[in-house]
Amino acid sequence: MAVRLKDIARDLNVSVVTVSKVLRNHGDISRGTRERVLKRMKELNYRPNLAARALVTGRTRAIGVIVPDLVHPFFSEVAKGLSRVLRKKSYGLVISSSEEDPELERDEIDQMLARRVDALVIASTQWSVESFRRVEEQGTPYVLIDRRFTGMSANFVGVDDERVGELATGHLIEAGCRRIAHIRGSGISPALGRLEGYRRALARHHLTVPAAYIVAGESADDAGHLSGRRAMRKLLALNPRPDGVFCFNDPTAMGALEAILEAGLRVPHDVAVAGCGNVHYSALLRVPLTSVDQQSRLIGERAAKLALSLVEAKGAPTRPRTVLLEPRLVARESTARGKETANVCQLK
Amino acid sequence: MAVRLKDIARDLNVSVVTVSKVLRNHGDISRGTRERVLKRMKELNYRPNLAARALVTGRTRAIGVIVPDLVHPFFSEVAKGLSRVLRKKSYGLVISSSEEDPELERDEIDQMLARRVDALVIASTQWSVESFRRVEEQGTPYVLIDRRFTGMSANFVGVDDERVGELATGHLIEAGCRRIAHIRGSGISPALGRLEGYRRALARHHLTVPAAYIVAGESADDAGHLSGRRAMRKLLALNPRPDGVFCFNDPTAMGALEAILEAGLRVPHDVAVAGCGNVHYSALLRVPLTSVDQQSRLIGERAAKLALSLVEAKGAPTRPRTVLLEPRLVARESTARGKETANVCQLK
DNA sequence: TTGAAAGCGGTACCAA
DNA sequence: TTGGTACCGCTTTCAA
């Protein structure tokens, strides 16, 4: 059904090799032949069989990406960034979701390796690095995004999570908050980094908070908004009640927002809220949400570029690179306290 | 670097064919051999080269999907649905975005065909059916989703868009609105269907509205919220002003919401708003948004199943199937007018 | 400038 | 139960 080099060769009374050379702009072909071949290719709508080509070249011109959740706006943005860069180089994007399940992730990695993708981009839910060893064994280069592993030097692209925590917390402090709580994520690296940044910002301003001001959201990113609500309820029950909260991510922050409003309190006056992710509808929420932009799209683009450069390097041992992007604060109403409040607090 | 059948065969002093048969559970292999082979496969972490297999079987076990925008929640949901079904059958998902650009879409289709995906799922931005003819020529089965073409019988999975329009408009009417406007989408089929449903609902209730009550949003789905705002401003300038608006999709509706609030009016009291898509944060908006759920996830799942069934059919001419899913209304605050209002209006 | 032959890693068919 | 051989569509190498 599909047209093959052979068909074109036969039609034109030339060899397959000749046609193949024209296809790849491989010199040493007379103008005449080249044009006849191109013409026929166009007529027959010829498209080279990439599977066949992959078999002989060892390159599929496909990059695999595995994310925990396709619907999470962060990963959608990443995918868009990846796709944008890969398209330009006519690489394909094979995508799959681990559904936040480490075991599933391992299966998906195996699938990708079987498919012989040229490189792999992974936002891992893994606790151990064992599956990456297997990727390395196959000689497939890979780039981690968003989540990294301590004590493992691998290619990584992500936002500087400690800066995220510092930025958000610092902003809350500047807004006049003094009793700042944190709803943290589960044990993955971004959660730890943001927590660390939060602590650092508090320390720098000589603020201390009760241990109970740090509460854990659930692990399931998907239900972030529900777990954020639960966590915020706990915080509101404390005495003294926090006057500001930095949430691990935007879904969590939305949940927190809900809990605060449900309790009959005002945002930002009673409790200011900052999140992270700057999902594109943050501005449209019940109270427009201050958020730290983690440059999702850019993460995808940089990851794609890094992956491609590894492919070009053809397994020549490149030492792992780390790309840390600078987060940016986007201030909105959820932290917009009146100046006077800020001043009063600062006097104290 | 990667392990091949040949390596295993050599190690075990059997032929490649034998190993291949074990791999595929192809009978006629003694227990002993089979187990030795399996053991060695595990030891070496063998993974069949799918490119090689594809070359001889003619099947890549990959499905291609092309959507206008990876970040649009609707398409993310669709992708998730697809992925879920395909994973179970160990099919891979090759994804790409047409960025709402018909020309780009044609390129991406070509890429997919070159990659020899077993089937294609497309949410097309195309105006003509020409590119699908080319897909047919190659013998690659395909399923259209969301957007269809009149006068072309192809496999299609989507929501019943006329029902969408009827549901939303009918709901606004029941909520007491009498001057219902519509912000429509560009000329693609869902836009037309929803418009038609809107008209039908008005007619059924013997309502007429000025022609100016139907305004067009822009084509760019991405900026839906901005174009929704612009469109709503125009509507608010009319006299008499609409008391309800059905928006083509949720981003548009959010824009409309913004415009109404900016104008100092109240939702739903002055103007009620209904959208479509039921994106997962609809409930968290400034005014929780009534929306028609278009079953995005399910669309993906059904499209995947349909695509797989076409692949199984191996090009046996199956007559095109159309899967129309029933939309569901999710009523929220943006249309929750008090009963009294509704009654007053009905008296008039 | 052109093409013959070998081979990429598998599978299919048929004979041993 | 096992394996030899041909071949999938293309690229690579080298000779003509």
Q: Report whether pLDDT(A12) > 60.
A: yes
Is A145 within 8 Å of A63 (Cβ atoms)? no
- pTM for the complete prediction? 0.91
Identify all chain B residues contacting A90, using CB atoms and an 8 Å cutoff: 111
Q: Which of B229, B243, B331 is nearest to B289 (CA)?
A: B331
Q: In this structure, is residue A53 part of a structural domain?
A: no
Which pairing describes strands B244-247 and B180-184: parallel, antiparallel, or unpaired? Answer: parallel
CATH number at residue B17: 1.10.260.40
* Separation between Cα atoms, residue B74 and residue B77, nearest integer Å: 5
Q: How many residues does chain B have?
A: 348
pLDDT band of residue A221 (cuts 50, 70, 90) is: low
- The one-digit pLDDT tens for each residue of chain B (348 residues) are 799 999 999 999 999 999 999 999 887 888 889 999 999 999 999 999 999 999 999 999 999 999 999 998 899 999 999 999 999 999 999 999 999 999 999 999 999 999 999 999 999 998 888 889 989 999 999 999 998 887 778 999 999 999 999 999 999 999 999 999 999 998 778 999 999 999 999 999 999 999 999 999 875 555 678 899 999 999 999 999 999 999 999 989 999 998 999 999 999 999 999 999 988 777 778 788 999 999 999 999 999 999 999 999 876 778 899 999 999 999 999 999 874 443 333 222
Query: From CA A292, how far away is CA A275, in angstroms rounded?
Result: 6
Residue at A268 is within a domain:
yes
- Compute the distance between CA of residue B47 and CA of residue B272 in angstroms, rounded to an integer: 58
Q: Which residues of B touch A334 (CB under 8 A)?
A: none
Contact A213, A242 (CB under 8 A): yes
Structure tokens at B215: 């305004």
Chain D: positions less than 7 Å from a protein CB are 1-5, 7-13
Smallest CA–CA separation between A264 and chain B, in Å?
16
A83 three-state secondary structure: helix
Alpha carbon of residue B10 to chain centroid: 49
Report in angstroms the alpha-carbon separations of A306 from A60, A152, A154, A302. Answer: 17, 18, 12, 6
Residue A334 pLDDT > 70: yes
Count of domains observed in chain A: 3
Q: Can you give the pLDDT at residue B221?
A: 54
Asked if A166 and A265 sit in the same domain, the reply is yes
pLDDT greater at residue A181 or residue A337:
A181
pLDDT of res. A344: 32
- Could you report the per-residue pLDDT of A16-71, keeping only the tens digit for each? 999 999 999 887 888 989 999 999 999 999 999 999 999 999 999 999 999 999 99
In terms of domains, do B165 and B76 share one?
A: no
End-to-end CA distance of chain A: 80
Task: Give the CA A34 to C1' C3 distance in Å.
Answer: 15
* B72-105 residue pLDDT tens: 889 999 999 999 999 999 999 999 999 999 999 9
Q: In sequence order, what are the residues at sequence separation of 6 or more whose Cβ sits closer than 8 angstroms to the Cβ of residue A195?
A: A165, A182, A184, A214
pLDDT of residue B198: 98
- Residue A314 pLDDT level (bands cut at 50, 70, 90): confident
Number of H helices, E strands in chain A: 13, 12
d(CA A185, CA A191): 5
Instruction: Let me know: does A225 contact A254? Beta carbons within 8 Å.
Output: yes
Residue A108 inside a domain? The answer is yes
If you ran DSSP here, which 8-state letter would residue A283 be given?
G
Residues 6+ apart with CB under 8 A from B262: none
Query: What domain range is A21 assigned to?
Result: 5-48
pLDDT at A130: 86
| Measured distance CA(A231)–CA(A251) in Å, rounded | 12
Shared domain check, A218 and A234? yes
User: Tokens at residue A138, please?
Assistant: 């196959």
Residue A285 pLDDT level (bands cut at 50, 70, 90): confident
Asked if residue A114 lies in contact with residue A84, where contact means CB atoms within 8 angstroms, the answer is no
Give percent of chain B above pLDDT 90: 76
Q: Give pLDDT tens digits for A141-171.
A: 999 999 888 777 899 999 999 999 999 999 9
pLDDT band at A348 (very low <50, low <70, confident <90, very high): very low
Q: What is the CA B39 to C1' C9 distance in angstroms? A: 20
Q: Residues A12, A116: one domain?
A: no
H runs (alpha helix) in B175-223:
189-204
**Looking at the structure, do residues B199 and B339 belong to the same domain, yes or no?**
yes
Cβ atoms of A80 and A136 within 8 Å: the answer is no
Q: Please tell me which of the candidates B1, B96, B134 has its beta carbon nearest to residue A138.
A: B1
Residue contact A70–B80, C-beta within 8 A: yes
* Contact between A286 and A259 (Cβ < 8 Å): no
Q: Is-contact A188 A161, C-beta < 8 A?
A: no
Confidence grade of residue A220 (pLDDT, cut at 50, 70, 90): low
Residue B109 inside a domain? The answer is yes
Distance between CA atoms of A187 and A189, rounded to whole angstroms?
6
Among the partner-chain residues A95, A280, A284, the one whose CB lies closest to the CB of B95 is A95
Tell me: do B227 and B340 sit in the same domain: yes
Say how many C-beta atoms besides its own lie within 10 A of residue A320's C-beta: 13
**How far apart are the C-alpha atoms of B171 and B200, rounded to whole Å?**
13
Inter-CA distances, A291 with A123, A142, A158, A295, Å? 21, 30, 17, 12
- Say if residue A345's pLDDT is above 50: no
| Nucleotide in closest CA–C1' contact with A53 | D10
The chain B residue lying nearest A287, using CA atoms, is B286
- Are A260 and A183 a contacting pair, CB within 8 Å? no
Residue A148 falls inside a structural domain: yes
DSSP string, B254-321: HHHHHHHHHTT--TTTT-EEEEES--TTGGGBSSPPEEEE--HHHHHHHHHHHHHHHHHTTT--PPP-
Q: Are B49 and A139 within 8 A, CB to CB? A: no
Output the domain CATH number for residue B240.
Answer: 3.40.50.2300
Q: What is the pLDDT of residue A272?
A: 97
Domain-located, residue B239: yes
Residue A228 and residue A169 share a domain: yes
Q: Helices in chain A by DSSP H: which ranges?
A: 5-12, 16-23, 31-44, 50-57, 73-88, 102-114, 130-138, 161-174, 189-204, 224-236, 250-262, 296-312, 339-347
Regarding whether B276 and B340 lie in a shared domain, the answer is yes
| CA within 13 Å, CB half, A169 | 33
Those nucleotides of strand C lying less than 7 Å from any protein Cβ are 1-5, 7-13
Same domain, B301 and B287: no
Contacts with A1 from chain B: Cβ below 8 Å: 138-139, 315
Per-residue confidence (pLDDT) for residue A346, from 0 to 100: 29
Residue A178 burial (10 A CB sphere; 0-12, 13-18, 19+): middle
Which pLDDT value is given to residue B222?
56
The mean per-residue pLDDT over the stretch A184-206 comes to: 93
Q: Between these two residues, A224 and A243, which has the higher pLDDT value?
A: A243
Nearest chain A alpha carbon to B64 = A94
A224 is a domain residue: yes
Kindly state whether residue B177 falls inside one of the protein's structural domains. yes
**Is the CB of A138 less than 8 angstroms away from the CB of B95?**
no
Examine the domain organization and report whether A176 and A274 are in the same domain. Answer: yes
Beta strand B214-216 with B155-159 is unpaired
Q: Do B220 and B240 belong to one domain?
A: yes
Instruction: Check whether residue A166 and residue A232 sit in a common domain.
Output: yes
